[in-house]
Chains A and B, each alone.
Chain A
Amino acid sequence: MSSRFQTILFSVLVLASAIMGVALWRQLERAHQRLLAGRDSAPTQAPQVAPAEQATLLVANDTDGSMITEVQSLPLPKDPGARARVILGKLLDLYAASDGAHPVPGGAPSVAQVFLMPAPSLTAAAQDPASARVAPKLNDSGPELAIVNLTPSFAANHPSGLETETLTVLSLCGTLHANFPRITQVRFLVDGQVRATLAGHADLSHTHLAVDPAAAQEAHP
């Protein structure tokens, strides 16, 4: 024989179980509806790919220390920084190819970011170092400084040597200037930090002047 108290407790527990069952069932239905709604909002058309454009690459050759201009057609984004990154990535993909004349492992992922900003005056900075710390005013038509952030693995795996490292730096600078004539200065970082040399030889501690491909070839015939 159960007491009255036990009967009431049992009834309450049964009622609570029924309420919880109903609540769970409703939540299951809502989750199913959310899933269906998500499926409905999935794109039914392929995303638009940026149109292919021509990019000029300054490709280095270790055998004779030369650089040749090569025009490639590839999809390029509108944002200048992303555009520069894609172009430099294409250049490094050529170097990473097994039959490359300037073998450098890594390829496109070696360029982590490219930032473009108004270029500070090198003369003014040399005469008054304090002026270099003042943020330059934005100018839509003025010269630009490109900051190229390379990955640590790229620097770690780059072949060591005066010629090969110099060619890499010159070709990256020349390629940027060929596609963005307003880029007159290039600064290289590795993992966001200033690094003394690329792989023991080419000096990365200062800002490089980006020059015309013809002038670069003259400097390194």
Chain B
Amino acid sequence: MRWTKFAIAICVSACQFGAAQAPPTPARFVVVIDAAHGGDDSGGTLSTGQPEKAFNLALGVRLRSLLGARGIQVVSTRDSDTAVDPDRRAGIANHANAQACITLHATDAGSGVHLFSSSLAPAAPTHFAAWRTAQSAYVTRSLALAGVLNSALLHAGFNVTLGRTDLPGIDSMTCPAVAVEVAPERGPDHKITSALDDPDYQARVAEAIAAALLEWRSEAGRP
């Protein structure tokens, strides 16, 4: 009887020790890529004549392949020219339980890359969040993600502007979320030096965003 109790105690201790020493099961690092607009909603018409929705989708596909090659799981809100409403986009992102959500936009106005986070005030996480302001619990992390993207894009030589805005899709996402708007690169005289339809320019933007997300993954300590 005494030997039995002793054996059980050893087993329990060993199990507790093993549980303390074994690394916790890591969560998968998931990135949501949200190519804005689509279907009937073309977004803006770029100076190249291309609708914004097509540019966003092409950049999203390029970014997805870059991240996939680096072992990052990617969930896209759309893979073709289909209309997806903002609530559906947020629903896909929230269901994916992602560590980063990137919404892609394009414009002819301005220069370089514009990064936008939600303008909601930061709030403590709660069990039940209001749909329209669910992002408020993630605003601090979203600003940190915008900072990582800013560093990577600056390092790649882009002109970057940071801002905050109201975006119905992003405001309902429960993940660190940033809207990335790509504009032509302009010189000091405001003349375009890299146009949006330049494949090399698109590749540089996608590479810089992918590098930022790799950095974000290493900061999060996830595989």
Contact = CB atoms under 8 A, between A and B. Distances in A.
Interface stretch (A20-28, A49-57, A133-141, A196-204): A196-204
Contacts of B168: 203
Which residue, of B41, B107, B111, B116, has the highest number of chain A Cβ atoms within 10 A? B107
Interface string B105-128: 111111100101001000000000
Given A65-B161, A166-B165, A219-B164, A200 B43 contact: yes
B166 interface: yes
Interface string B85-110: 00000000000000000000111111
B32 to A, nearest CB: 18
A172 to B, nearest CB: 14
Interface in A178-202: 199-202
A160 B110 CA distance: 11
B161 A199 contact: no
Interface stretch (B18-26, B179-187, B198-206, B208-216): B179-187
A40 B197 CA distance: 68
A65 B162 contact: yes
A182 to B, nearest CB: 22
A1 B110 CA distance: 99
Given A63-B190, A199-B44, A159 B107 contact: yes
B110 A200 contact: no
Contact of B181 (A159, A162, A219): A162
A64 interface: yes
Contacts of B223: none
B186 A159 contact: no
B166 A161 contact: no
Q: How large is the interface on A (under 10, 10 to 19, 20 to 34, 35 or more residues)?
A: 20 to 34
Interface in A11-57: none
Given A159-B44, A200-B44, A164 B110 contact: yes
A163 B166 contact: no
B165 A202 contact: yes
B45 A163 contact: no
A160 B163 contact: no
Contacts of B164: 219-220
Interface in B29-62: 37, 41, 43-45, 52
Contacts of B44: 159-161, 199-200
Contacts of A206: 166
B37 A200 contact: yes
B83 interface: no
B215 to A, nearest CB: 22
A201 B169 CA distance: 11
Given A200-B44, A203-B167, A62 B162 contact: no
Interface of A: 62-65, 103, 159-164, 166, 199-203, 206, 219-221
Closest 4 pairs (CB-CB, A-B): A160-B44, A161-B107, A65-B161, A164-B109
